[in-house]
Structure 1
Amino acid sequence: LTAKLWSFVFSELQDKSEILESLENTTTKPSARRDWASSHTQIQIAGHEMLLRYITDVDYEHSLLIWHIATELCYQEEDSTKENSDKPEYQTNRNISKMLSDYMMYLLIMQPKLMSEVAGIGKIRFRDTLAEADRFFEKMGIENSRDVKLASKMILSVDTSIEPRDVKGNHSKSVLFEASSLAEELERLEKNFGKDKWKTLSNVWLGFLFHAASHCDGTTRMELLSKAG
């Protein structure tokens, strides 16, 4: 992670230290995987029920994967000539959201021991989501799935007015089109109400990071540090 990102994270952690301390002192502790979001994270998106449900109604690893894909969809969809692209804070939040999203996804999939308390069935969800994406790309005639911009555009073109969970049922753990719905909602809030989606995303990703940091496996963390990991 870049020095600029670490500086941002440390600054935000200082700003939220009183809130985090008050949470530590509560008598009722949230579980590691359920009710994971701090009250501060929820306040950031209060009043936007369509966003809040992707935080409060799902387990940590489920939420992380949804927000990761939604972040990538927003990142790829955005035109560099967009109105807000010349605003430093907007670009900073955009870059930080992307870096934190990629980093947290790396930890979830590549460092499962470190994330064991919060990982849940993260790898199963990832596998099912990847399989659904492959089927979708084949159906849409996308030969090069590494063309991320084209793939993102096609995913966002799908009508998600019907709940994805109602279509796929309970068997598949894929979150592909839940993430698409979230990305569309973030874009809608920015376009119609002027709500900076990257500010929202950066705050959500800080919530993911802080929660994981307080629930990661200590022994595994020491092993990784000893290997400069």
Structure 2
Amino acid sequence: MGAFNLLDCSVKKYCRWKKQKQHSPTRFLDKAVDMCGFNDRLDNLIYTTTNCFQEEELWVFLFEGLKKKALGIDSEIKAREVYDSKGEAVLQEMDLAELEKSYMKDFDYGKALLCWHIATEICYNVEEDENDKNRKCSKILSDYLTYLLIHQPKLTAAVAGITHERYVETCLEVKESANKLGAENLKDFCVKALEVHDEENGEGGYNREHAEERNHDAETGGRGKSVLHDARNLARILINHVNKWEIIVRVWVEMLSYAAGHCRGNEHARTVSRGGELLTHVWLLMAHFGITAEWPKN
């Protein structure tokens, strides 16, 4: 089990690049690694952390969260809605229809995950409250699911979408944005990214027409696969909510249960031989609570 942070990886790479001299051996080495296609492997080795699930409160939180979801199931239709929700159900329940429509419903799983991952990281670095359990759990789940999406793609292959291209373009845009903002570190980037307003959105509000254009570009293989723009706008909306960490952490629990439920059984079995994954524990817990594709009628 590991954790991977897209923003941390990209901003650190930019900061390292900025400190290097134009013709330094390190720059040539970076270019060679990039040309050989070894970037993902090195990112996995350098920027992935392990032992990220030592917090007992996280396990309790997941158990209680899944139990609550199961208690709300009273019909086959409701069971299917819960099983197939990657965050929409939570946003609808909390009367956040615009968030659900603009930053979840129209996105495939991979795009939604990366968008919420970046937005979570921005909110996490802009505000510091070590006593907020929802904030802490949000960070852990966000980094863990991003790690699975990027570095364990077989576990999310059934729902991921065009993940790798979107991930690469997002990383490139983060580096370009860090350069434009003159970011010195991750926290500095998050603060400045939140303050910048995109021209197409005037004051940083969500512009539906431009979002649809970006979605069309992504679907047709053109420009626009990066999710940084959407993630910044989402972060601006979330940061103003009093209960933002309750919103965010509940979305991440649904993202996790969605990935666990839709992962192929043979892939879950393979993780056991490698020491297991949190995803598999959640899958088994969902089966125990009856959160499955086939709702038990008795």
Equivalent of residue 104 in structure 1, options 141, 145, 156: 145
Contact conserved, 2:73 with 2:79, CA < 8 A, in 1? Answer: no
Is 1:11 matched with 2:60?
no
Equivalent of residue 178 in structure 2, options 137, 157, 167: 137
Please provide the CA RMSD for this pair: 2.6
Write the distance in 2 (CA, Å) between the matches of 1:28 and 1:47: 21
Tell me, what secondary structure is at the counterpart of 1:37? coil
C-alpha spacing 1:153/1:37, structure 2 compared with 1 (3 Å): same
* Unmatched tracts of structure 1, length 5 or more: none
C-alpha spacing 1:202/1:4, structure 2 compared with 1 (3 Å): same
Write the distance in 2 (CA, Å) between the matches of 1:184 and 1:51: 15
Write the distance in 1 (CA, Å) between the matches of 2:174 and 2:273: 37
Equivalent of residue 151 in structure 1, options 178, 189, 213: 189
Letter in 2 for 1:223: R
Write the distance in 1 (CA, Å) between the matches of 2:58 and 2:266: 26
C-alpha spacing 1:76/1:198, structure 2 compared with 1 (3 Å): same
Contact conserved, 1:129 with 1:176, CA < 8 A, in 2? Answer: yes
C-alpha spacing 1:51/1:157, structure 2 compared with 1 (3 Å): farther
2:226 maps to what in 1? 174
1:95-124 Cα distance to aligned partner (Å, 9 max, x none): 011111111111111110011111111222
Aligned residues: percent identity? 35
Write the distance in 2 (CA, Å) between the matches of 1:45 and 1:120: 27
Write the distance in 1 (CA, Å) between the matches of 2:122 and 2:85: 24
Write the distance in 1 (CA, Å) between the matches of 2:71 and 2:136: 27
Contact conserved, 2:87 with 2:252, CA < 8 A, in 1? Answer: no
C-alpha spacing 1:72/1:96, structure 2 compared with 1 (3 Å): same
For residue 47 of structure 1, report the CA deviation from its aligned partner. Answer: 3.9
Write the distance in 1 (CA, Å) between the matches of 2:256 and 2:78: 23
For residue 43 of structure 1, report the CA deviation from its aligned partner. Answer: 2.7
Write the distance in 1 (CA, Å) between the matches of 2:105 and 2:120: 18
Question: Structure 1 stretches (4+) deviating beyond 3 angstroms?
Answer: 18-22, 27-30, 35-40, 162-169
Letter in 2 for 1:3: E
* Unmatched tracts of structure 2, length 5 or more: 1-52, 218-222, 277-298
1:47-84 Cα distance to aligned partner (Å, 9 max, x none): 4414542121211111111100000000000144xxxx
Larger CA Rg, structure 1 vs 2 = 2
Tell me, what secondary structure is at the counterpart of 2:155? coil
Write the distance in 2 (CA, Å) between the matches of 1:179 and 1:156: 10
2:118 maps to what in 1? 69
Letter in 1 for 2:70: S
Write the distance in 2 (CA, Å) between the matches of 1:187 and 1:43: 19
- What does residue range 1-229 of structure 1 map to in structure 2 within 5 Å? 1=53, 2-19=55-72, 22=75, 25-26=76-77, 36-37=85-86, 40-50=89-99, 52-80=101-129, 91-142=132-183, 144=184, 147-160=185-198, 161=201, 163=207, 165=211, 170=217, 171-188=223-240, 190=241, 195-229=242-276
Tell me, what secondary structure is at the counterpart of 1:109? helix
Write the distance in 2 (CA, Å) between the matches of 1:93 and 1:182: 18
Write the distance in 1 (CA, Å) between the matches of 2:211 and 2:77: 34
Contact conserved, 1:36 with 1:60, CA < 8 A, in 2? Answer: no
**Deviating more after overlay: 40-49 vs 5-14:** 40-49
1:138-171 Cα distance to aligned partner (Å, 9 max, x none): 22333x5xx1101111211220425464896821
How many residues matched? 208
Write the distance in 1 (CA, Å) between the matches of 2:260 and 2:275: 17
Contact conserved, 1:60 with 1:118, CA < 8 A, in 2? Answer: yes
For residue 4 of structure 1, report the CA deviation from its aligned partner. Answer: 1.8
